[in-house]
Structure 1
Amino acid sequence: MNKTLLRSVREYKKQSILAPLLVILEVLMEVLIPLEMAKIIDVGIANGDMSYILQRGLILVVMAMLALFFGVQAGNMAAIAGAGYARNLRHDIFYKVQDFSFKNIDHFSTSGLVTRMTTDITNIQMAYMMSIRLLARAPFMIILSWIMTLLLNKTISLLFLIVIPLLGGTLIYIAKKAHPHFIKVFDEYDVLNNSVQENVNASRVVKAFVREDYEIDKFHDISKYVYNLFTKAEKIVAWNSPAMQFTMYSVVLIMVLIGGKSIIAGSMETGELTSVIVYALQIIGSLMMVTFVFVMIMIAEASSDRITEVMNEIPEMQDQPDAVTEVPNGDIVFDHVDFSYAGEGGNLSLKNVNLHIESGQTIGIIGGTGSAKSSLVQLIPRLYDVTKGRVKVGGIDVRDYSLESLRDQVSMVLQKNVLFSGTIYENIRWGDETASDEEVKRVCKLAQADGFVQEFPNGYNTKIVQGGNNVSGGQKQRLCIARALLKKPKILILDDSTSAVDTKTDALIRKAFREEIPNTTKIIIAQRVSSIEDADQIIVLDGGQIMGIGTSEELLKTNEIYREVYESQVKGGDDHE
C-alpha cells in the first residue's frame, strides 16, 4: 500500500491493528482443531472410550466457537477500518481539489477526478480490508500448519517445502502477467465516464440533432475496449483455480501414498493422516488467499498511483504567511501583464497589457472570439496567475492577498452559468449564506429576476434541478447575477452574462447597477455594443492586446475595430430589438 495514502487511516488505526490480531487468534484455534480430531480418532474411537470422545469433543466445540467469534470480530474490525479508510481518502481528495487553481484542475478531467473518488477508492478499500485480514491469516496459517505437519510426519512436511515455493511462485507469476491489463483498464474508465457525463449533460443537443445512435456506438466502442482489457486480465487470473486444484489433488494423493505406507508400517495413525490432509488443505487454501489478495493489491496499486497523483499535486496558488486580508477598494491596475495558460514559454493569450480602472467605474470589454476577454478578467480574482507583470487590486498585488479575502470582494459571473440542486433561496445564498429573505429578494430585483421567480408556484422555494435545466438561459443568467450581487463585492465582473436576456432587461440591469451599487467597480464583457455603450470606459481587445480604450463616442472616432462592430450591429438592428 502507498505510504502517502496510508496516512488517511488516521482514527481507524485501532481497528486496523485489532483485525490482524483477532485473525491470528482465529488461526490458532483452526490449527489446533485438526489435532483434537486426530486424538478423538486415534484414541477415543480406537479404544472405544466414549468419555474421552465427549471430553475432546467439548474442547473441539469450544475451539470452533472461539474461532467463529474471533473470525466474526476480525471481519467487523476489517470492515470498519476499510470503510473508514475509504471515507477519509474521499474527504482528503475532495478537500485537496478545493485548493486547486483552474490550472491544477486542468491537469485532471472532471470524469477522471470522479473515477478516482469512486472506483479507485473502492478498489483500495477492498484491497485494504482484505489485506489486514487475509495477509495476516495466510502466512500464520501456512507456518503453523506446516509446523503441525512436521510434528506428525517429517516426510510429508518436506513435501510442502517444495510445493509451497513452487505454487506460490506460479501464482505470483500469473498475477504479474495480469497486472498491466488492470492498469490500462482504469485509464479507459476515465474515458468511459467522460463519455457518459458528456452525453448526459448534452442530452438536449443529442436529441435535437438525433445523434443517439452515434452516441450509443461511441459508448459501445469504449465499453467493448474496457471489456476486452478485463477479459484478457481475467483469462490470465483464471489459471489460479486450475493450478490450485491440480496441486491440491496431487499433494493429497502423494500424502495418502506416504501416509498409507506409514500406517501400514505402524509409524502413523489414521487420525494423524486425516489431520495432515486437513493441514495440507489449509496451506493450499492460504496460498489461494495470498494470490487473491495479491491480485487485488495489484489492481489497487494502479488506483493508488492515480489517487497519489492528485494528492501530490501542488496547488499553484497558496497564501503567503503575511497575506493581506483587507481589500481597500475596487481600483484595478494591469502592469505590463503577459499571460499564457501553459506558463512560462507558452503561447501568450495576453501580451503586454497595461490598464488602470478606477474604483466605482463601469468598464466594458469587447472583442472578437479568442481575443482573450475572459482571460483578462480571470486574472483579477486570481483564477489564474499572470505569467509576467502584475495585477493590482486596491493598490496591492493580487498575489499578496489571501485568496479567500480577495475572492470575497470580487464577484464573478462566468460565461457558463452554474446553478446547483436546491431552492432558489439556497442558490442565491451562495453569495452570502447568512442573508435574509428580504436581502435575497432585493438583489433579485436588481438582477431583474424577482418578476419571473414570483411567477413560479413556489416562488423562491422553487427547486432548481441539477444544472438548472428547469429554468431558461436568461433566467439562469439573472439568478447568477443576483447571487454575485449578494456578496456586496468591491468588484463585479460579468463575463458575457447577459447574452441570453433581451436588450430591455439588459438595460434595466445596468440601470440598477448605476443607481444601487455606484461604488462597486463593474466590468462587463459583452458581444452587444448596447450592453456597454454607456460604460465609463470601453476596452477593445484583439489578439490578446488592447487596441483601444475610451468612451463609445471616442472609439467611434478613433478605433476601426469598435466602429465596425458598432455599425454592423446598428445596421443589423441589434440595438432595436
Structure 2
Amino acid sequence: MLLKILGRYLKPYWPLLVAVGVFQLAQSLASLYLPSLNADIVDNGIAKGDVPHIFTVGVIMLGITVLQVACAITAVYFGAKVAMSLGRDLRGGIFHTVSEFSEREVSQFGAPSLITRTTNDVQQVQMVVLMTCTLFVSAPMLAIGGVIMALQQDVGLSWLMAVSIPVLLVAVGGIMSRMVPLFRLMQKRIDKVNLVLREQLTGIRVIRAFVRERHETDRFASANADLTETAVSAGRLFALMFPVVMLVMNVSSVAVIWFGGIRVGEGDIQVGTLMAFLQYLIQILMGVMMATFMGILLPRAAVSADRIGEVLETKTSVVMPKNPVTEVTEVGTVEFLDATFQYPGAEEPVLKNLTFAARPGRTTAIIGSTGSGKTTLVNLLPRLFDVTGGSVLVDGVDVRELDPDLLWSLIGLVPQKPYLFSGTVASNLRYGKPDATDEELWEALDIAQAKDFVLEMENGLDAEISQGGTNVSGGQRQRLAIARALVKKPEIYVFDDSFSALDTGTDARLRHALARKVHGATMIIVAQRVSTIIDADQIIVLENGEIVGIGTHEELNESNTTYAEIVSSQLTAEEAL
C-alpha cells in the first residue's frame, strides 16, 4: 500500500525527485573519491616529503568537500519540498474522500481515527519520503561503491567485509521484524487516546455534572499507559538498533587495523592504502546503517500507509449519479415511495415501506417515540444515507439521480444537534449563502427569534462564535442554526427537532414567523413536543420505523391510538382541543 500511495501522489514531483537523485549521486561519488585522495597524500606526499603534491591534492580535496556539502544541502532542500508537498496532497486527498462519505462510513472509522490518519499517519509517510529523498541514492551508492573501491585498494582484506556486512544485516533484520507489529499496535492506541480525549473535551459538562472527573482521569490514564507501554517497547528496539550497528562497525574497524597492520608490516600494502580501506569499510557500514535507519521508518510508514489506504479506498455508500439531473421543473415537492432503510448487518430495517408526500406551502410534521426512526427519515432526504429499498423523490426526481449540488441547494437542514463554526455570527449565517447582505441576515435572525440577543452581543453580527458554538446557550445555538437555514432561502426546510431547546413562547413566535415569511416553501418538522406541530397541515406518526397514522392533529387525536397517547402524555385536555 505504501508503494501504491507513493506512486499515486508523487507523480507531479518526478522532476524534483530526479534532481534529488542527481545531487545525491554527486555527493556519494565525492564521498567515495575522497579516501583515495587521502591515501595518495599519505603514500605519495607525506611518505616522500613532497609538499607541493600534498598542497595540490589537499586543495582538490577541499574543492570536492565544498561540492559535496553543496550537493547535500540542495538534495535535502528538494527532498524536503517533495515530502512536504506529498503531505499536503495526501491530507487533501483524505479530506476530499472523507467529505464524500455518508454518515455510515464516518461512523465506521470514527472521527478520532480519521483525525489520526489525516495527521499522525500522514506524518509517518511524509517522514519516510523525506528520508528516502535524503538517503535513497547515497546509502546504496556508499555501500556498493565502497565495496568496489575497497577491493581496488586491497583484496586481501575483503573477507572482513564478507563477514561484517551479513552480520549487520541479520541483526538489523531481526530487530525490524519485531518492530512492525508494535508500530501497528501503536497507531491503534493513538486512535484510542484521541477517542478518549475527544469525548472528554466534548462532554466536559456532563463529566462535571455527574462528578466523574476521577473516572475519566483513570480512563485516560489507562489509554495513555497502554500507548506508553507500546511506545516504550518500540523505543527499546529502536534504541538497540544503533548500538548493534556501532558494535559491528567498531569491531570491523579494529579487525581492519589489526589484520591490515600485519599486511603493512609484511610489505603487502602501504599505510595510505590501509587508511583508505578503513574509510571505505566505514562508508560501507554507514551506508548499511543509513539503510537501516530507513528500515526503522519503513515499518511504521507501511502501517500508516495501510491505514490511509483504507480510507482512500473506501467507497461511499452514497454513490454519485453518472448522469445527474441538473434541472427540475416542480418546486419543493418531496415524496417517499415505499422507502426502506436498513443498516448493514442489522436484522430489521430501521424504516419500513414509508409512503407519503410533502407539498409546497404546507407543513408536514413527523412525530414518534424515541428510536422510531424520525432522524433517519429526514437524513434520507439530503442523502446522508441512501434508501435500501423504495425511493425518495425531490421535485419529481429520485434524489439518487439529482446532481448533489442541486439537491443540497434545494434543502435547508437544521440538524438535531445544531453546530456552529468558529468565526462570527455573520460568517455562520452566510455559510449557505456567502453573498447574503446584512439586511438578509437580520431578517433571518428576526424570523428565528434571534435578533434581540444578537443585538445585545458585543459587535452584533461580528460577535465571535467559538468552535461548536460553545459560547452561546443551547437555545441561542438552535436559533442561529435556524437563521442560517433561512438565509439560504431553500425550497424545502427540514427541522430535525430544532425547537427542543426553546421555551414554549419562543417556539410559538418562531412558528408564527415561519408561517408568515416562508409560507411558499415545503416545511418538514421533526418534533417531540405536540405543541410544536399542533398546527401542521399533515402529521405523520412513526412507530418502530413504520407509519401508523397520517392526518391533522384533530383527526389523529380522535382516530390514532399512538398519537392520542403522545398527546395525553404532554397536553392537558384544554390544550388538546
Q: TM-score range by the shorter chain?
A: over 0.9
Match of 2:521 in 1: 520
Q: 1:341 aligns with which of 320, 340, 343?
A: 343
Distance, in Å, in 2 between the alignment partners of 1:249 and 1:454 is 76
Q: Closer, same or farther in 2 for the Cα pair 1:568/1:75, shift >3 Å?
A: same
Report deviation, 1:319.
2.9
Distance, in Å, in 1 between the alignment partners of 2:574 and 2:35 is 95
Q: Secondary structure at the match of 1:155?
A: coil
- Following superposition of structure 1 onto structure 2, how do residues 347-366 of structure 1 map, counting pairs within 5 Å? 347-366=348-367
The number of residues matched between the two structures is 575
CA RMSD in angstroms, aligned pairs only: 1.7
Report deviation, 1:372.
0.4
> CA offsets, 1:147-201, max 9 Å, x none?
1110111021232123212311321221111111111110111111011111111
Report deviation, 1:115.
0.3
Q: Give ranges in structure 2 of 5+ residues lacking alignment.
A: none
Q: Which amino acid aligns with 1:414?
A: P
Match of 1:118 in 2: 119
Report deviation, 1:556.
1.1
Match of 2:195 in 1: 194
Report deviation, 1:575.
9.1
> CA offsets, 1:347-384, max 9 Å, x none?
21011211122222101111110010111111112111
Q: 2:332 aligns with which of 330, 333, 358?
A: 330
Match of 2:510 in 1: 509
Match of 2:561 in 1: 560
Aligned partners of 1:101 and 1:383 also within 8 Å: yes
Once structures 1 and 2 are overlaid, which stretch shifts more, 165-174 or 215-224?
165-174
Q: Secondary structure at the match of 1:112?
A: helix
Q: Closer, same or farther in 2 for the Cα pair 1:24/1:510, shift >3 Å?
A: same
Distance, in Å, in 2 between the alignment partners of 1:281 and 1:60 is 19
Match of 1:543 in 2: 544
Aligned partners of 2:338 and 2:391 also within 8 Å: yes
Q: Closer, same or farther in 2 for the Cα pair 1:498/1:574, shift >3 Å?
A: farther
Match of 2:293 in 1: 292
Aligned partners of 1:22 and 1:71 also within 8 Å: yes
Q: Which amino acid aligns with 1:489?
A: P
Q: Closer, same or farther in 2 for the Cα pair 1:8/1:442, shift >3 Å?
A: same
Distance, in Å, in 2 between the alignment partners of 1:574 and 1:375 is 30
Q: Secondary structure at the match of 1:352?
A: strand
Match of 1:374 in 2: 375
Report deviation, 1:508.
1.3
Distance, in Å, in 1 between the alignment partners of 2:264 and 2:508 is 103
Aligned partners of 2:24 and 2:75 also within 8 Å: yes
> CA offsets, 1:245-277, max 9 Å, x none?
221222122212221121112121111111111
Aligned partners of 2:364 and 2:537 also within 8 Å: yes
Q: Secondary structure at the match of 1:47?
A: coil
Distance, in Å, in 1 between the alignment partners of 2:443 and 2:326 is 28
Once structures 1 and 2 are overlaid, which stretch shifts more, 353-362 or 319-328?
319-328
> CA offsets, 1:201-239, max 9 Å, x none?
112222222222211111111111111112222222333
The percent identity for this pair of structures is: 37
Q: Closer, same or farther in 2 for the Cα pair 1:424/1:391, shift >3 Å?
A: same
The answer on 1:146 being equivalent to 2:154 is no
- Following superposition of structure 1 onto structure 2, how do residues 401-480 of structure 1 map, counting pairs within 5 Å? 401-480=402-481
Match of 1:569 in 2: 570
> CA offsets, 1:466-485, max 9 Å, x none?
11011110110011001111
Distance, in Å, in 1 between the alignment partners of 2:258 and 2:518 is 96
Q: Closer, same or farther in 2 for the Cα pair 1:575/1:439, shift >3 Å?
A: farther
Match of 1:63 in 2: 64
Report deviation, 1:317.
2.2
Distance, in Å, in 2 between the alignment partners of 1:322 and 1:255 is 73
Match of 2:218 in 1: 217
Q: Secondary structure at the match of 2:337?
A: strand
Match of 2:49 in 1: 48
Aligned partners of 1:569 and 1:575 also within 8 Å: no
Distance, in Å, in 2 between the alignment partners of 1:191 and 1:153 is 57
The answer on 1:73 being equivalent to 2:57 is no
Distance, in Å, in 2 between the alignment partners of 1:517 and 1:215 is 46
Q: Closer, same or farther in 2 for the Cα pair 1:293/1:572, shift >3 Å?
A: farther
Q: Which amino acid aligns with 1:556?
A: N
Match of 1:226 in 2: 227
Match of 1:253 in 2: 254
Match of 1:28 in 2: 29
Q: Which amino acid aligns with 2:506?
A: T
Q: Which amino acid aligns with 1:409?
A: L
Match of 1:315 in 2: 316
Aligned partners of 2:76 and 2:133 also within 8 Å: no
Q: Closer, same or farther in 2 for the Cα pair 1:558/1:575, shift >3 Å?
A: closer
Distance, in Å, in 2 between the alignment partners of 1:10 and 1:440 is 46
Report deviation, 1:559.
1.0
Distance, in Å, in 1 between the alignment partners of 2:310 and 2:429 is 35
Q: Give ranges in structure 1 of 5+ residues lacking alignment.
A: none
Aligned partners of 1:5 and 1:308 also within 8 Å: no
Distance, in Å, in 2 between the alignment partners of 1:309 and 1:334 is 34
Match of 1:19 in 2: 20
Q: Which amino acid aligns with 2:531?
A: S
Aligned partners of 1:8 and 1:92 also within 8 Å: no
Report deviation, 1:441.
0.9
Q: Secondary structure at the match of 2:524?
A: strand
Distance, in Å, in 1 between the alignment partners of 2:435 and 2:549 is 42
Distance, in Å, in 2 between the alignment partners of 1:13 and 1:205 is 52
Once structures 1 and 2 are overlaid, which stretch shifts more, 512-521 or 420-429?
512-521
Distance, in Å, in 1 between the alignment partners of 2:64 and 2:535 is 89
Aligned partners of 2:358 and 2:524 also within 8 Å: no
Match of 2:165 in 1: 164
Aligned partners of 1:22 and 1:70 also within 8 Å: yes
> CA offsets, 1:324-343, max 9 Å, x none?
12342121221112111227
Q: Closer, same or farther in 2 for the Cα pair 1:5/1:573, shift >3 Å?
A: farther
Aligned partners of 1:538 and 1:550 also within 8 Å: yes
Q: Which amino acid aligns with 1:36?
A: L
Distance, in Å, in 2 between the alignment partners of 1:112 and 1:2 is 22
TM-score (norm 2): 0.97
Distance, in Å, in 1 between the alignment partners of 2:575 and 2:110 is 38
Q: Secondary structure at the match of 2:286?
A: helix
Distance, in Å, in 2 between the alignment partners of 1:279 and 1:457 is 72
Distance, in Å, in 2 between the alignment partners of 1:33 and 1:312 is 49
TM-score (norm 1): 0.97
Q: Closer, same or farther in 2 for the Cα pair 1:575/1:109, shift >3 Å?
A: farther
Q: Which amino acid aligns with 1:18?
A: A
Distance, in Å, in 2 between the alignment partners of 1:476 and 1:161 is 73
Distance, in Å, in 1 between the alignment partners of 2:531 and 2:348 is 33
Match of 1:244 in 2: 245
Q: Which amino acid aligns with 2:482?
A: I
Q: Which amino acid aligns with 1:121?
A: V
Once structures 1 and 2 are overlaid, which stretch shifts more, 384-393 or 232-241?
232-241
